[in-house]
Amino acid sequence: MDEFQIENVLKDFYENEHFFSQEDFLYFAETDEDEIILNNTFCNDSRFILISDEYLIKKYFISTKTLFKWFCRLSLKLAKSKTFRLSQKQLYISFSFLCKNERFNYLPSNLVSFGKHYGFIDEDPYNNEQYIFPIVYILLFMNGTKPNRVINRIIEKTSSSKTIKNIKFEYLCEIFFEEGLLNLRDRESYIIKSREGLLTGNKLTLNEIGIIKNITRERVRQIEKRAWKKLTHNSLSDIFAAALICKIISKQGSLIYSKNSYEALLISFLAKCSKVPILNCQHINKLILGDHLKNYCNFEASFQITKYVNSQSFFEQLNSDKSICLIKKDLQNLSIAISEYCKTKLTKEQKVYLVLKEIGKPAHFSRIAEVYNSLFPHNPSIERNIHSVLSREKNGVVWIGIRGTYALKEWGYEHPSDTLFETVKEIVQNKYKEINKPVPFNVIVAEISKYRRIINKNSLVIASHCNSYLERIGRDSFIPKESKEKSNKGGFSV
């Protein structure tokens, strides 16, 4: 077979709308050498994805064009059924329709990887058997047959390409954008671009545009209103919605964009034309497509000390909310951004609380100061200041009765109501009444745990041997002083 014949075989199979096997294209080989050439060509051609069966014996192929169209059509089906989540089993059932004769016993991972690359699908970070569909989530905001018109427009635009992998969806987004603006008059296009910041990166006021165009501010407003009426009409709105989907594809399904950039201005404009809501999170300098995070981005109203500061726990909280449709990368970046913002709003007492949460057990103020400076390097503090903050015992921080050592009430610790000397006195009095003989030091050690969870043994030795309320008997036993005085008055010694 010559190169022309081989290319014709490749073209034919590139249009194939199902999986095909190695045997299917080897049918065109006339010699053993042709078989080797065809096999190597199909295995190395970027227009096809190779999949082996679970025993790695038989080879199957599917064209990237077919797979892209399949993900597009799957997105439409999901949008129609108002869902943007599928289980692994549901995805496998949908995928099996690509198989003409034989079916796989598993869901090929490289097919999922293809969908992830183009932003159609992503795995649930905490459930490998669940998948989310970001593009479907955006399509759900579009009414009636609009999703069909938008997706079919994208399929039509990409079908003429030799290979899906050569398509620059960022560029395709710009093509749709410019195509939509061609339906406006020059003055309308200029005013819309200026107002949306798509000319210079800065949004111009009505007055500024009026000065440039030598017309009144009111006239600019009228032209802008007329232009927006055109832009949101179905025929034009479909074009801008296609541009929006292409933008999401180019970002591999990301729905979060940094503010103060041309990209954010373009996304805002396309979302407005497509009637897709967009959340402006000023605190973290982000724009988020959709309305799934509106309850999470009002930090000032809903701030709780541990709710947002720990990025991992916030990531888990977001991921557990099934109304949210964000790829793992978006969830991670958003969690970190919110965590960093909230750290800047913490009081020193709140920061100290978080440091103890990080340590996870009672700690001396010197250790707390060390961890504090590692967690908040941009706002360091000396040990003396940390000790001062701890001693205020705010936000559930308590001194536990050991010099310079603090813990959290939520761990079950309390500020001792009595001094250690008074506590030892109470133990000796109670045990003396019970046994009516001197109380050994090891009994005091055993009883102290009923009063305090942690004790410094050296402090306990001092509180026993140097206690003005106690009298030492022998080497290591004690009685209350008042008991000795009563004994002496009664005419007997202890």
Report the alpha-carbon angle 283-285-267, nearest 5.
135
Name the 3-class secondary structure at 61: strand
Alpha-carbon span 255 to 139, nearest angstrom: 13
Q: What count of other Cβ atoms lies within 10 Å of the Cβ of residue 197?
A: 18
* Angle subtended at Cα 91 by Cα 85 and Cα 93, rounded to the nearest 5 degrees: 135
**pLDDT value of residue 308:** 57
- pLDDT given at position 55: 57
What is the sign, positive or negative, of the torsion defined by CA atoms of 212, 214, 215, 216?
Answer: positive
**What's the pTM?**
0.79
Query: Can you give the pLDDT at residue 131?
Result: 95
What is the token pair recorded at 393?
């015992």
Measured in Å, how far apart are the chain's first and last C-alpha atoms?
116
Q: Are the CB atoms for 196 and 203 separated by under 8 Å?
A: yes
Q: How far is CA 443 from CA 364, 455, 477, 479, 482, in A?
A: 27, 14, 9, 12, 20
What pLDDT is attached to residue 306?
56
Identify residue 306 by its one-letter amino acid code.
Answer: T
Instruction: Give the model's pLDDT for residue 417.
Output: 77
Q: Which residues pair with 86 in a beta bridge?
A: 131
Q: Give the Cβ contact number of residue 258 at 10 Å.
A: 13
3-class SS shares of the chain: helix, strand, coil, % to 5: 55, 10, 35
Rounded Cα–Cα distance for residues 486 and 129 (Å): 78
DSSP secondary structure letter of residue 377: T
Walk along the chain (494 residues) and give the pLDDT tens digit of each residue.
788 888 899 999 999 999 888 888 888 888 889 889 998 998 899 899 988 755 556 788 999 999 999 999 999 999 999 999 999 999 988 888 888 777 777 888 889 999 999 999 999 877 778 999 999 999 999 988 999 999 999 999 998 887 888 899 999 999 999 999 999 999 999 999 999 999 988 999 999 999 999 999 999 999 999 999 999 998 899 999 999 999 999 999 999 999 888 999 999 999 999 999 999 888 889 999 998 777 776 655 444 555 556 677 777 777 778 888 999 999 998 888 888 887 777 889 989 998 998 899 999 999 999 999 998 888 899 999 999 999 999 988 998 888 899 999 988 888 887 788 888 888 888 888 888 888 889 888 888 878 887 788 888 888 888 888 888 888 888 888 876 555 554 443 33
CA–CA distances in Å: residue 454 to residues 405, 423, 464: 10, 14, 17
* Tens-digit pLDDT profile for residues 124-137: 877 778 999 999 99
Closest CA to 69 of 168, 166, 176, 157: 157
Partnered with residue 470 across adjacent β-strands are 480
Question: What pLDDT score was predicted for residue 491?
Answer: 42
Which one-letter amino acid corresponds to residue 310?
N
* Sign of the torsion angle spanned by Cα atoms 216, 218, 221, 225: negative
C-alpha neighbours within 13 Å on the C-beta side of residue 83: 11
C-alpha–C-alpha distance, residues 183 and 221, integer Å: 19
pLDDT of residue 292: 79
